[in-house]
Amino acid sequence: MMNVAEKSIPFMKMHGLGNDFVVLDARAGGATVTPALAIALADRHRGVGFDQLAVIESGTSDAHLMFYNADGSTAGACGNATRCIARYLMDETGQKALSLTTERGILLARDAGNGLTSINMGHPQLDWQDIPLLEDMDTLELPIEGTPTATGMGNPHCTFFVEDAEAIPLEQFGPRYELHPLYPEKTNVQVAQIIGADHIRMRVWERGVGITLASGSSSCATAVAAARKGLTGRKVRIDLDGGTLEIDWREDGVWMTGATMHTFSGVLTEQFLKSQA
C-alpha cells in the first residue's frame, strides 16, 4: 500500500500544453492520497506543484486513473492528464491504442502520429441534471449575464463566448462564476473567442485550481458549446495560453488530440511524507 507512511514515493512530472501534473504509478499496489497530501504536493514552493494530481491504478482496462485538484478535491475527468498518461503507457508497452477507465467511464486512446496523442473523452452531457445544474433549464443559454452555455464532460463547464478573450480579467471573472449557485458542484469557466469557422481562442479558469495554461475537458466543452450554438463546425482548433488542441466531436464522442511531455521523474522523500502524516 502506497501511503504517507512509506519511506519514499516515486513520481513523474508531466504536462500537456503547460497544464501540468504530478503522476503516481500505483499499479504495483494501492495508493492512499489524502486531500492534505494533494494540497502539499500542489504547493509550487514547498511541494512539487501541479494543476492536477493523477494516480495510475490497475483495473479491468489497461489502467484506471484517479484525479485530484490542487485544492485537494477530486476531479472526475482530466483530459490532458489522460493524454499524458496514455502516451506514457503506449511508450511503455508499444501499444498504439489502449483503453483507460476513469470516473467518466472507459476512454479510448490512440497514437495520432508525430508524437501526438488522441483521447476520446466520451459523449458530452447536455441535460441539466447530468452536468449538473441546480434546476431544469436550457443548457444552451443559461440565465446568467452573457448567456453562457453549460456542458458536462465528466465535470461541469460554463462557457462564455466573448469578442476578445484577452480582455477578460480572468483572475476575477473565473472565481465569480466557478461558485455560481446554478452549479451545485462548482464549475470550470471558459472565455472563448471565435476566430473562424474552425478556430477558437480560449482561456480557462479550472474548478479547484485557478487559471491554467490549458485544459482538455474545457477545450472539449467549448468545442461542443460552439457547435451547438452554430458558431463553428464540429471539428475545431483551439488555441490556449499553453498551445493548441484539435477537438473533433464525432458520433462516438469528443476526440482531443495534442502534444504531451514527460518532463522528469523524482522521489518524494521520507522527510516530506512524514511532514504530511
Alpha helical stretches, state H, the chain:
35-42, 79-93, 170-178, 216-228, 270-276
pLDDT at 276: 79
Pairing of strands 116-120, 105-113: antiparallel
| pLDDT tens-digit map of 108-159 | 999 999 999 999 999 999 999 999 999 999 999 999 999 999 999 999 999 9
Q: Which amino acid is at 20?
A: D
- Residues of the chain short of pLDDT 50, as ranges, are 1-4
| Cell numbers representing residue 219 in the block | 477545450
Decide if 191 contacts 165 (C-beta within 8 A): yes
- Residue 192 CA from chain centroid, whole number: 17
Write the burial class of residue 103 (CB in 10 Å: 0-12 exposed, 13-18 middle, 19+ buried): middle
- pTM equals 0.92
Rounded Cα–Cα distance for residues 201 and 187 (Å):
20
Q: Residue 181: is the preceding peptide bond cis (ω within 30°)?
A: no
Cα dihedral sign for 239, 244, 246, 247?
negative
pLDDT at 2: 42
Rounded Cα–Cα distance for residues 255 and 164 (Å):
26
pLDDT at 60: 86
pLDDT at 31: 59
Domains of the chain: 9-120+260-276 (3.10.310.10), 149-251 (3.10.310.10)
- Residue 144 CA from chain centroid, whole number: 24
Block residue for cell numbers 447536455: 126
Decide if 222 contacts 165 (C-beta within 8 A): no
Decide if 215 contacts 191 (C-beta within 8 A): no
Rounded Cα–Cα distance for residues 268 and 86 (Å):
23
- CA Rg value for the chain: 18
